[in-house]
Amino acid sequence: MVSEERGTKPRRPRIAVVGVCGAGKTTLLRRLEALGYEVREPAQEHSGVHDLWRRLTKADILIYLGARLDTVRARGRPDWPDWLYAKQLERVAYSRQHADICVETDDLTPEEVFARVRTALVALVGEPGM
């Protein structure tokens, strides 16, 4: 856990979730919040500021969710253009390189993504609220 000052209750770690549209960020965020984690989705895929996630959320932990273009299209964006997907990959490349947890979501259910991320989070910071 992250401590702000000696003798004070440790604060929950700030978590940022980034990735291309359709990777499952919002679904994961909701599940992690339900467990008591402080989670933000800084919309890195829409920003040319390569470390927006860091500036906007001041995150202690960065989670990157990846998805191929065919997966994005299958998840409700059938006309998602190649150029936009490529632009989003470019915009999240720096955050992917600096992520504490990376999960490619293409062949996983939302439950499997959540389980992998939760296991990794517990290893990094313990259970929420502890």
Give the pLDDT mean for 19-41: 94
pTM (whole model) above 0.85: yes
pLDDT over threshold 80, residue 10:
no
Across the chain, mean pLDDT equals 89
Four-point Cα dihedral 91, 93, 99, 102, nearest 10 = 110
Band of residue 9 on the pLDDT scale cut at 50, 70, 90: low
Which pLDDT does position 77 carry in this prediction? 87
Domain architecture of the chain: domains with CATH: 14-125 (3.40.50.300)
Residue 83 has pLDDT above 80, yes or no: yes
| pLDDT of res. 93 | 95
Q: Kindly calculate the radius of gyration of the chain based on its CA atoms and give it in whole angstroms.
A: 15
